[in-house]
Amino acid sequence: MKGSYGRAFYGVQGLGTGHKGTEAAGYLRLGIVGNANVRTPTGVERLMSVGDRNPVELSEGMTSAEIGITIPAVEDPDFLQLAIHDVGTDELNWLSTKFGYNQGANQLTVVAIDCKIDTLTLRLEAGGRLNADVRMLGGKVQKSAADPGDMSFFGAMAYRWFEGIWDEVRDLRAIELTVRNNLTLEPLIAGSGTTRDPDRIWDAMDEGDTEVGGTLTYFLSDPAQDLQDCLIPGQDLNLTLQSCGDVSPGQLMVLHIHGLKPIDENLTLPAGGNILVEVPFMATGWDLVG
């Protein structure tokens, strides 16, 4: 809608199958959101028959929700931490997302339930802010002509600058960390004891193996380790982020990367400018504490 300003929220449904199918009881702000989109593929396919050039039917398939959220300045790590499996159950939390706008008589609320974070990418460049891209998979999407919620409680600040402290001797220029939970949506042939959604919604969301990796970009200022050595030690690296001194209250976040090992090393010697090294890496885990 032309001239409208969107609102974005998330809520935690809980862990386990007992919380699937029930919208979150309460919602929290998503913080500074640069863009949010909800895609609802219908799964429509062409049904062909011998002797016909045209489909005899456009057949409906399984539906789902695909949610993308861009966060240009990370303020609160709690939402992003939901991309980590629960320590006790080794499961991801079921989430609800709510988007919409309120422009007087024109109101819209879009709620997607049974969501989980599939992919998370964190980025930080020197002189910039920690930003994130989040991709979620979900189930049923419901729309209504209603107020999505009051944004008056939005009290967080847009921090202009993050000072980063890296626990390595290298002069870090940028870091990118990507987490993939490899979720897949599975329909089931329901049995007599199965209660399934009457719509074309998937029945199970399988959680695959978790991939953690990214890229370090730094100025060439010290001899790099020999990646062709027979033993490359894993490293636990930390990046401490804090808001600049004139922002009150101050904010402190620490990005931990566990068991990092480099995949390769790309040294670039330009005709003019900085000599940079890019090191793609894999890791065994991560967390963001703040």
pLDDT digits (tens, 9 = 90+) for 54-110: 999 998 888 899 999 999 888 878 999 999 999 999 999 999 999 988 877 788 889
Could you give the CA distance from residue 76 to residue 240 in angstroms, rounded to a whole number?
A: 14
Q: Is 191 left (phi over 0), alpha (psi -120 to 50) or beta?
A: beta
Domain ranges of the chain: 6-40+59-289
Angle (nearest 5°) at CA 66 between 59 and 176: 140
Query: Span 25-52, mean pLDDT?
Result: 89
Angle (nearest 5°) at CA 169 between 123 and 259: 60
Token pair in block for residue 107? 């109101």
| 254 burial level (CB within 10 Å; 0-12, 13-18, 19+) | middle
Closest CA to 237 of 188, 286, 290, 179: 286
CB 136 within 8 A of CB 97: yes
pLDDT digits (tens, 9 = 90+) for 5-26: 788 899 999 998 889 999 999 9
Instruction: Name which residue leads in pLDDT, 59 or 134.
Output: 134
Could you give the CA distance from residue 90 to residue 98 in angstroms, rounded to a whole number?
A: 26
CB 31 within 8 A of CB 7: no
CB 71 within 8 A of CB 59: no
Report the run of H or E that residue 79 belongs to, with start and end.
helix 78-81
Contacts of 165 (CB under 8 A, 6+ apart): 239, 240, 242
**pTM here?**
0.89
- pLDDT surpasses 60 at 117: yes
